[in-house]
Amino acid sequence: MTLQEKAKAYANTIQSRYDDEDLDTINLYHECSRAYLDGAKEALAEKPMNRKLRLVVTDRCHNSCPMCCNNRFDLSALPIVEHWNYDEIMLTGGEPMLFSNKIYNLLCALRDQSQYLQSEPKLYLYTALPKMGPLYDFIDILDLLDGVVVTPHTKKDAEDFKFANAKILSLKDRFAHKSLRLNIFPEAKPYLEGIDLSMWQIKEMQWIKDCPVPEGEDLRRINNLFR
């Protein structure tokens, strides 16, 4: 079976499997399959492609950091993702965790299509707000990820991080194999002192003026940004 045939079969499967789900979920699954069809075409054409994708899922954020890279970009003007044929997919924003349900569904869709099509990109999430939500909290979402990069910017972010960290520490074995990275900017440092960060790979950060996309990475957005 060719990649295209596999992708078509997958699209039919999800159509029947998720008929009862809410519209957002169905749209996300369809978006994944549609994007994979395009990706399959490109793969068949053996076009060289970047292997890492930064995928913007929302332009909303609870913070308004003056040096935020997004102040320089119109995120809604980014090109739409065309395929999922990457080694790594990094979900970013804005703040993805403002839409934890949609993130959970999107990760399920990506994991699901990966298993079906035997293309298994590693999945990462960039967040300032490891929030414990009522339906799908950070811990549920972390289960679906290969890793997370948390960058608290405010006291509130740091408080959410502390809560999530305590839960991760209480479930050490479950998360020992995940890539857990904590970026610390000077403004957040005082709020993170005195806590056990033994599960985290820590990087001290400084704001940089320009925000170039690293070589070898695509920067794209999903079709309908979460809002």
Q: Which two tokens stand for residue 170?
A: 């209480």
Instruction: Check residue 80 and report its DSSP letter.
Output: B
The verdict on 205 binding ligand SF4 (CB under 6 A) reads: no
Q: Of 10-18, 62-70, 77-85, 186-194, which segment contacts ligand SF4 by CB under 6 A?
A: 62-70
Smallest distance, Å, CB 45 to ligand SF4? 35
The verdict on 199 binding ligand SF4 (CB under 6 A) reads: no
CB closer to ligand SF4 out of 13 and 63: 63
CB closer to ligand SF4 out of 128 and 168: 128
Give me the residue label for tokens 């039919």: 12
The verdict on 225 binding ligand SF4 (CB under 6 A) reads: no
The 122-127 sheet, strands edge to edge: 201-204, 179-184, 147-150, 122-127, 88-92, 52-58, 217-226
Question: Which one among 97, 125, 128, 219 touches ligand SF4, defined by CB under 6 A?
Answer: 128
The verdict on 211 binding ligand SF4 (CB under 6 A) reads: no
Q: Do residues 3 and 43 lie in contact, with contact meaning Cβ atoms separated by under 8 Å?
A: yes
Question: Which DSSP helix (H) or strand (E) runs through 92?
Answer: strand 88-92
CB closer to ligand SF4 out of 39 and 94: 94
Residues 148-177 that bind ligand SF4 (CB under 6 A): 153
Give me the residue label for tokens 């520490």: 169
Question: Which one among 49, 65, 132, 169 touches ligand SF4, defined by CB under 6 A?
Answer: 65
Instruction: Report the amino acid identity of residue 113.
Output: Q
What are the residues whose beta carbons fall under 8 Å from the beta carbon of 22, sequence distance 6 or more? none
Q: Of 20-28, 37-45, 61-69, 208-216, which segment contacts ligand SF4 by CB under 6 A?
A: 61-69
Question: Which one among 11, 49, 61, 169 touches ligand SF4, defined by CB under 6 A?
Answer: 61
What are the residues whose beta carbons fall under 8 Å from the beta carbon of 8, sequence distance 6 or more? 37
Question: Which one among 19, 20, 47, 64 touches ligand SF4, defined by CB under 6 A?
Answer: 64
**In whole angstroms, how far apart are CA 118 and each of 66, 68, 114?**
42, 36, 5
Smallest distance, Å, CB 93 to ligand SF4? 6
Bridge partners of 221? 56, 80
Where does the chain have alpha helices with state H?
3-17, 23-44, 100-117, 138-144, 155-170, 172-175
Q: Write each residue from 84 to 103 as x if it is in contact with ligand SF4 (CB under 6 A), else as -, in one continuous string.
A: ---------xxx--------
Positions that interact with ligand SF4 (CB under 6 A): 61, 63-65, 68, 70, 93-95, 128, 153
